[in-house]
Amino acid sequence: MNTKEIFIEHLEPTEAFGVHNQNLKSFQLHFPQLKIVGRGNQIILQGNEVDIELFEEKFEHLVQHIKQYGSISDAQLEALFSGVLPKEKNSKSEVSDGGGEIILYGNHAKVIRAKTPNQKKMVSLMNQNDILFAIGPAGTGKTYTAVALAVKALKNKEIKRIILARPAVEAGENLGFLPGDLKEKIDPYLRPLYDALDDMIPADKLKSYIETRVIEIAPMAFMRGRTLDNAYVILDEAQNATDLQLKMFLTRMGPNAKFIITGDLTQIDLPRKGMSGLIKAVKILEGIKGIEFAYLNFEDVVRHKLVKNIIKAYDKSADKPEDPRD
């Protein structure tokens, strides 16, 4: 009897094994003469050499399919056993990492892509730099694209954790007056980050990631004193961070980390616009190697078509915000 160990790399073992090991159970049905044991990130096979080789071939097709499309259906699994899985459209392998539209495949094989030229620029710049400022109005996909890049890096095991932060500042509200404990007070401010994650990671896995702090979502004040290493770190709504807060946040960066800072200079909720650390950061950090800036505008809006017209109307009716590049 032969024994073989197969190691699963660049993919979560639970994705390959299936919910409640359903994929492995299907393999066991089609390979009744093999003893198949899933353990950690490996599969241990015992049986004759021919069955082991055929299992390896079929399982490699399954792994590659999940890497490309994010999941595999029961019908596709049956097609795998009866022959070879047919290619689907928009294969991830057909898209280059540098400037391609597709970032990753989310829940139910949902395609998460950079839809506009400036979103594509965000992807390209982040592949080449460690800090990116993404600045633009509401609805331009800054946060969504940033979270997609972080989830892709986590799935590819380029980093060990994702940290998502926001300043706990909103117009007309104060944390102390909101009901509930600290988490319940903070969660409404972080809802856009949760919404993006919900599109990209299955609910049970996302819950596990948050409980084990593989994904951490917190106010930026919680970053003080920490060194953030082996992590993809996103600061959302950075226009509401003061100069000292933003400096504190940026200097948390560890050796193997990537930072994305997103903000909208037309929606500063601090008492005075001049308090925004984002305005100063853009002025003093441009030109530093490894730090880049992506500027989005109403042409990048991916919400309802009326949002573009709303932004244009407000721009016409009010003084333009200070351009930090002047």
Determine which of 93-97, 212-216, 223-227 has the lowest per-residue pLDDT on average: 93-97
**pLDDT tens across 13-60, in order?**
888 888 788 889 999 998 999 999 998 888 999 999 989 999 998 898
Q: What percent of the chain has pLDDT over 90?
A: 39
What stretch(es) of the chain map to CATH 3.40.50.300? 95-317
DSSP string, 223-281: GTT--B-SEEEEE-SGGGSBHHHHHHHHTTB-TTEEEEEEE-TT---SSSGGGBHHHHH
Average pLDDT over residues 230-251: 93
Closest-CA residue to 58 (of 43, 25, 80): 80
| CB atoms inside a 10 Å sphere around CB 80 | 22
DSSP string, 116-167: SHHHHHHHHHHHH-SEEEEE--TTSSHHHHHHHHHHHHHHTTS-SEEEEEE-
Cβ within 8 Å of residue 275, ≥6 positions away: 242, 243, 268
Q: Is 221 helix (H, G, I), strand (E, B) or coil?
A: helix
Q: How does DSSP classify residue 289? A: T
pTM (two decimals): 0.66
Closest-CA residue to 261 (of 270, 275, 274, 248): 248
DSSP string, 49-113: HHHHHHHHHHHHHHHHHHHHHS---HHHHHHHHHS-PPPPTT-GGGS-TTT-SEEEE-GGG-EEE
What stretch(es) of the chain map to CATH 3.30.1370.10? 2-82
pLDDT over 60 (residue 320): no
**pLDDT tens across 296-306, in order?**
987 787 766 67
Name the H helices within 156-223.
182-200, 203-211
Q: How far is CA 37 from the centre of its chain?
A: 31
Mean residue pLDDT across the chain: 82
Per-residue pLDDT band at 61 (split at 50, 70, 90): confident
CATH class entry, domain 2-82? alpha beta
d(CA 256, CA 229): 5
Q: Is 7 helix (H, G, I), strand (E, B) or coil?
A: strand
Q: Output the pLDDT for position 87.
A: 55
Phi, psi for residue 276 in degrees, rounded to 5? -65, 120
Per-residue pLDDT band at 164 (split at 50, 70, 90): very high
Q: Output the pLDDT for position 134.
A: 96
pLDDT over 90 (residue 266): no
CATH of domain 95-317: 3.40.50.300
Q: Output the pLDDT for position 234.
A: 95
pLDDT over 60 (residue 141): yes
d(CA 196, CA 213): 17
